[in-house]
Amino acid sequence: MWIFETMDFENNLAFAEAMDRDDPLKELRGEFIVPQQGSESVIYMCGNSLGLQPKVTRNVVHGQLDQWANLAVEGWFEGEEPWMYYHKSLKELLAPMVGAVVSEVCPMNTLTVNLHLLLVSFYKPSGKRFKIIMEAGAFPSDQYALESQVRFHGYDPADAIIEVSPKGGALTLKTADIIAAIETSAEEIALVLFSGVNYFTGQLFDMEAITESGHRAGAIVGFDLAHAAGNVPLMLHDWEVDFACWCSYKYQNGGPGGISAIFVHEKHFKDKTLNRFAGWWGYQENIRFKMEKGFIPEPGADGWQVSCGQVIPMSMYSAALGIFKKAGFMGPLRDKSIRLTGYLYFIINEVNKSLHFEQFKIITPEDIEQRGAQLSIVATKHAKEIFGELVKRNILGDWREPNVIRLSPVPLYNTFVEIFQIGQQLLAICNSLPND
């Protein structure tokens, strides 16, 4: 167990090594392939963008290629895990990742496609209730999806989309301001759609409070969990979230372009008025192959499937979720994540202290209730040079214009020593830059 119950961090190697030694999840790093540069491991801080490859993934994919080679079309119904039912075992792993009942989740398609499919069902503008409330600065794909959905229903995005922005020069939103925005337009809102964690600021939203407020206004509430799933614990069912979707390739290590998944709350299962863009794979499973006219959905989230199961991407996602299961899912990972990212927060401020000015300004809230793994750090001077130097020194974060460096320590595979080293390197880089 953790010996350092408090967060009295120290800026020295011995402390970081002791934290790693006492990390109850330290063995998990060995499950991943950490990229090498020469004889050194890269310090990978980009798990918010593309998670690392689990060692087991290659074997799992080869297993599916073997099934295809050996059984060909019979693989749909035969073999150890017939493809026809492959998504079912994956659903068992998805449910604890997001706090859902198994029937509420289903892997399918890719993220933005799923967002569109869910909006077809859950954005139901009518009369003066046609508006959507979202955070300003949402991920571009979500903005485009919503604009195009609004236009599809014959509205102008300028009238129909309300963006909530931080107040008074703040960089992140207050829950109270989100709720106030919902209440101000209560009668006009059809849908509240937020991210769980904003990709740019790293802010973790109070999804339970937002859901409650949206429902009080009479709106449907959905979340894009791209940066939240596999990063922070979620309780979608208990929070009564109406729908959600996420991708598998960020914190969940499902591989580039990997399969997405959806959540639909069970309270909607019996609603026959919901529109959907249907396909044969969402048809009731036991009579699907009668190939009859007239769509009858499979009960639950599975009824939103459109095309036949994407077995290889599902197998990659399943391999990766096996490691979350080993970890005990999100509880233990979040315990470590709070410490690991807390340590990064501390180390960045140590660098500022050594430099005697605020070279780095952290946008992400310090409060653990309002952040996940990622810190978004503004480099107030020489931003591009600093980021370039980090890359040269095998520290891989990511860059957002004009001056933001995002670093995401991932509790599955990052270490406290890596964070200590980032501090040492940042200090060395800044000391070597011209002083202007």
Ligand X SMILES: *Cc1c(COP(=O)(O)O)cnc(C)c1O
**Binding-site sequence positions for pyridoxal 5'-phosphate:** 111-112, 139-142, 224, 227, 249, 280
Q: How far is the CB of 202 from ligand X (least distance, A)?
A: 11
Smallest distance, ligand X to C-beta of residue 45, A = 17
- Give the span between the Cα atoms of 172 and 151, in whole angstroms: 29
Q: For ligand X, which stretch binds (CB under 6 A), given 38-46, 134-142, 274-282, 371-379?
A: 134-142
CB 194 within 8 A of CB 162: no
Residue closer to ligand X by CB (options 201, 352) is 201
Q: Does 111 bind ligand X (CB under 6 A)?
A: yes
- Nearest CA-CA partner of 125 in 254, 220, 207: 220
Parallel/antiparallel/unpaired status of strands 131-135 and 189-195: parallel
**Contact between 227 and ligand X per CB under 6 A:** yes
Q: Which stretch binds ligand X (CB under 6 A): 14-22, 220-228, 313-321, 386-394?
A: 220-228
Judged by CB under 6 A, which stretch of 30-38, 224-232, 383-391, 422-430 contacts ligand X?
Answer: 224-232
From the list 260, 86, 271, 114, the residue with the least C-alpha distance to 193 is: 114
Q: Minimum CB separation from ligand X for residue 191, in Å?
A: 16
Cβ of residue 317: shortest distance to ligand X, in angstroms? 13
- Restricting to residues 247-276, which ones interact with ligand X according to CB under 6 A? 247
**In this structure, what DSSP letter does residue 210 have?**
H
- 96 Cβ neighbours under 8 A, 6+ residues apart: 325, 329, 330
By the rule CB under 6 A, 317 interacts with ligand X: no
Q: Are the C-beta atoms of 199 and 226 separated by less than 8 Å? A: yes
Contact between 141 and ligand X per CB under 6 A: yes
Rg (CA), the chain: 23
Residue (67 or 376) nearer to ligand X, CB: 376
Binding window for ligand X (CB under 6 A); candidates: 8-16, 63-71, 138-146, 384-392: 138-146
Helix, strand, coil shares of the chain, percent, nearest 5, are: 45, 15, 40
User: What are the strands, taking DSSP E only, across 240-292?
Assistant: 243-247, 260-264
SS3 111: helix
Stretch that binds ligand X, among 221-229, 285-293, 338-346, 405-413 (CB under 6 A): 221-229
Element (H, E) at 162: strand 161-164
143/424 with CB nearer ligand X: 143
Q: Does residue 358 contact residue 380 with C-beta atoms inside 8 Å?
A: yes
- Nearby residues of 144 by Cβ (< 8 Å), 6 or more positions away: none
Residue 123 contacts ligand X per CB under 6 A: no
Count residues contacting ligand X (CB under 6 A)?
A: 12
- Torsion region of 269: left, alpha or beta (phi above 0 gives left; psi -120 to 50 gives alpha): alpha
Cα(208)–Cα(223) distance, integer angstroms:
11
State the minimum distance, in angstroms, from the CB of residue 246 to ligand X.
8
Question: Whole-number minimum distance, CB 72 to ligand X, in Å?
Answer: 30
Of 312, 313, 308, whose CA–CA distance to 281 is shortest? 308
**Given candidates 31, 135, 142, 350, which one binds ligand X under the rule CB under 6 A?**
142
Q: Is 112 in the site for ligand X (CB under 6 A)?
A: yes
139 touching ligand X, by CB under 6 A: yes
The least CB distance from residue 49 to ligand X, in Å, is 8
Write out the binding residues for ligand X, residues 175-204 only, by CB under 6 A: 195, 199
5 exposure class (CB count in 10 Å sphere: 0-12, 13-18, 19+): exposed
Q: Rank residues 110 and 403 by Cβ distance to ligand X and give the closer one.
A: 110
Residues forming contacts to ligand X in the complex (CB under 6 A) are 110-112, 139, 141-142, 195, 199, 224, 226-227, 247
